[in-house]
Amino acid sequence: MSVQPPKRRHWFRRTGIVSGGLVAALVLTLGGGYVWLYGWTWKEAPEFHENWTVEERAALTGFDTCVQGIFHETLNELTAKTFTAMQLSDIAQLIIQTRIMCSDVREQLHHFARCGHARDERKVYVEEQYQRIGITPTIMAAGRGQLRAVEALVAHGANPNDVSKLEEKYYHPLELETPLTPILSGHFLGDAEIPWEERRKTADFLLANGADINGTKRSIGFACDMALMLSQPRDTRPWMWAIDHGKTVSVENFCTMLALEEAGELVERVLREKLVNLNDTSYERTALQSLLAPLQSRKEPAAMEELQLLEKRLDMLLEAGANPNLVPDEAAPPRPGEGEEAYQDRMLQFNGIRETPLEIVEHALQAPGSTEYHKLCERLLEKLHAAGRN
């Protein structure tokens, strides 16, 4: 009679060994992942070179704590939600990228602390498929409202003109932030609220240490626009400060100012000092088109006060030389040598205003409205015709 062959018992033993090995490998993998994810946060506070003052050490230590907080806030926020299986992959990628960014910034901070300067500050890149964003520790500090840390880093060699950019595979890089932009806009990540007078001191410090008020194509002007548009009450002080220090005003910036009643003093200053080219057609709308855009709704605005303000500003623009016959370059009629197909493609891609200021008011005059509304539109049209003839 045959008995159970010993080799089967060996198979059980080998299976147990393999299973134990798999469990051990899994534990090591999970443990290694945990260490990778959190290990960088276990470092002690920065050790400082004698070059740093007591105040600078406190500022950088506070920013060091802030960087760790950014990671933990992101992790807690994401893990507290419920996601689908497809979303989990994106969430995992976001956690990994946040960890890479925060750990690299913290590593640079500790290096700066030890060596006594920030002259070798570099960008940290966060990547996702076909795009990436590069950000420096100084820009991160500014974005989080860590103003004393910004001053300390710049005072010790960090570049106040670095620009974080969104770089995409098939598009030109898009400017996002400089150390100066969050300070001007007053909008910080993490909901920090810092009064303008305090922010202005840091802005003055940055200019005194080499910041270029016109160093970017549009991000600094856009930051001033944000302060104007999003603050309650509207805050013209960042724009006034920027102009005081030589900031140029684009037609895009001026269109933002024209749309806001509270920006009257700012509009008057720009016109008085001739800070903008009123006939610039490089943007998606001209200054006159932007001013008259509310009439495009084809119905009477809710308040005649708005139209009276519009008429007042129209008089100002026409007196300053605004041309009522212009449209943006991309909305212009077919160009010499431009085929019909190319022209139609250009029109499809254009998202601005195509009507001339004269056409906007003519169409508004045809829309239903009160007698007072139509009389005002007739006055606007007469003024535009007169300016066009001149």
- Residue 359 burial (10 A CB sphere; 0-12, 13-18, 19+): middle
Across 76-80, 205-209, 237-241, 278-282, least confident range: 76-80
**What is residue 153's three-state secondary structure?**
helix
Instruction: Please report the pLDDT score of residue 229 as a whole number.
Output: 92
Query: Dihedral, CA atoms, 271, 277, 278, 280, nearest 10 degrees?
Result: -160
Count the Cβ atoms, other than its own, within 10 Å of residue 360. Answer: 25
264/268 Cα distance (integer angstroms): 6
**Looking at residues 130-144, what average pLDDT do you find?**
93
Q: What is the pLDDT of residue 345?
A: 85
- Low-confidence winner among 92-96, 178-182, 185-189, 349-353 (lowest mean pLDDT): 92-96
Q: Which residue did the predictor score with more confidence, 93 or 63?
A: 63
Residue 61 structure tokens: 């230590």
DSSP conformation class of 22:
H
- Residue 118 in this model has a pLDDT that exceeds 80: yes
AA identity, residue 156: H
Predicted local confidence at residue 64, as pLDDT: 95
Confidence of residue 84 (pLDDT cuts 50, 70, 90): low
Q: Would you place residue 172 in the very low, low, confident or very high pLDDT band (cuts 50, 70, 90)?
A: confident
- Average pLDDT on 91-101 reads 83
Angle at 56 between CA 72 and CA 68, to 5 degrees: 5
Name the average pLDDT for the chain: 86
pLDDT of residue 23: 46
Q: What is the pLDDT of residue 190?
A: 81
Of the ranges 34-48, 143-157, 361-375, the best mean pLDDT one: 143-157
Lowest mean pLDDT among 104-113, 121-130, 260-269, 376-385: 121-130
Residue 81 confidence (pLDDT)? 67
Q: Quote the pLDDT of residue 214.
A: 95
Strands 174-177 and 131-135: unpaired
- Tens of pLDDT, residues 306-326: 888 899 999 999 999 999 999
pLDDT digits (tens, 9 = 90+) for 209-249: 999 999 998 999 999 999 999 888 889 999 999 999 999 99
> Is 188 within 8 Å of 229 (Cβ atoms)?
no
Long-range contacts of 49-54 (CB under 8 A, 24+ apart): 49/113, 49/114, 49/115, 49/116, 50/116, 51/116, 51/117, 51/156, 52/113, 52/116, 52/152, 52/156
Tell me the C-alpha distance between 74 and 95, whole Å: 7
CA-angle at 378, arms to 377 and 384, nearest 5°: 90
The mean pLDDT value for 150-158 works out to 98
Please report the pLDDT score of residue 33 as a whole number.
65
If you ran DSSP here, which 8-state letter would residue 168 be given?
E
Q: Which two tokens stand for residue 202?
A: 């840091």
Strand pairing category for 124-128 and 174-177: unpaired
With vertex at residue 199, the alpha carbon angle to CA 194 and CA 203, rounded to the nearest 5 degrees, is 160
> Does residue 18 register a pLDDT over 50?
no
Looking at per-residue pLDDT, the higher value among 331 and 160 belongs to 160
Instruction: With cut-offs at 50, 70 and 90, classify the pLDDT of residue 34.
Output: low
